Amino acid sequence: MIALGVVAAVMITGRRFARLGIGKKEDVTAIALWAVPAGVVGGRLYHVLTDWSSFDGRRGDMFKVWEGGLGIWGGIVVGVLVGLWRVKKMGIAPLMALTAVAPALPVAQAIGRWGNWFNQELFGKPTDLPWALEISDLKTIAAGYPPGTTFHPTFLYESIGCLLLAAVLLLVERRVALRPGRLFAVYVAGYTVMRFFIEGLRIDRSHELAGLRWNQWMALVVFAISIAVLVTGRVRSSDSDDGVPASTVNGHE
């Protein structure tokens, strides 16, 4: 499912590269060949570092990515940084590349999240809502609940939320005059808000601090950074008053 998400993101970003006039569809494939593996490495590294104790006595398992365990924060950070490095090497404007990829990332995440359904993992607290998730008795018992218990399908919540976020990003792009790269900050801000609340529903093992899961703290920190980027960009745009029309800023003619 992660692979299908990557394919979708590459296709969407390729079309946006062409439409925004910053490169060819083939350029996105060339960038992805570097960014995607880097994202996998970053995601795995984040997972291992934040769950180091679970690998005591079995350090070799740290490399078994096929058994699950990828952290979105590490994946996005490392994948984007390596992608930007390739973009710059190819002579493409990095900030415009970030604008192009912004709506594609939540679509990829929406698809990838369905892997959690196949694996019966990362579900939420017990619930009897009509859309409650049924899992195997073995998995239910392993989670500490009696057979027949149903749970919040947090993977579904995040999948739907990511698709809505992608739609919002496209709407913002059409309606708001954002400078290159700022749409990516909007994506980050939107995703972290959603992830904060969904993370609060999950019952899988996680380190906690002051009553919040580690990933909730990460969401708060990254949200603050993304808002700071947006506010700073807005202030600088007002101060510069360079008269650049919104159509040019958003890459439209």
User: What integer pLDDT is reported at residue 190 of this predicted model?
Assistant: 97
Dump strand ranges (E) for the chain. Answer: 208-209, 212-213
Question: Which of 211-215, 225-229, 234-238 is the most confident on average?
Answer: 225-229
Average pLDDT score over residue span 147-167: 96
Contacts of 77 (CB under 8 A, 6+ apart): 42
pLDDT digits (tens, 9 = 90+) for 171-191: 999 999 889 999 999 999 999
Whether 139 has a pLDDT exceeding 80, the answer reads yes
Give the pLDDT confidence score for residue 244 in this predicted structure. Answer: 41
Confirm if 20 and 96 have CB atoms less than 8 A apart. Answer: yes
56, two tokens = 């005591």
Question: What tokens were used for 151?
Answer: 């749970």
Cβ proximity of 17 and 27 under 8 Å: yes
Give the per-residue pLDDT at 126. Answer: 96
For residue 55, the model assigns a pLDDT of 67
Of the pLDDT bands very low, low, confident and very high (cuts 50, 70, 90), residue 67 is: low
Residue from 156, 164, 6 nearest 76 by CA: 6
**Which SS3 state, helix, strand or coil, does residue 250 take?**
coil
Predicted local confidence at residue 61, as pLDDT: 66
pLDDT for residue 57 is more than 60: yes
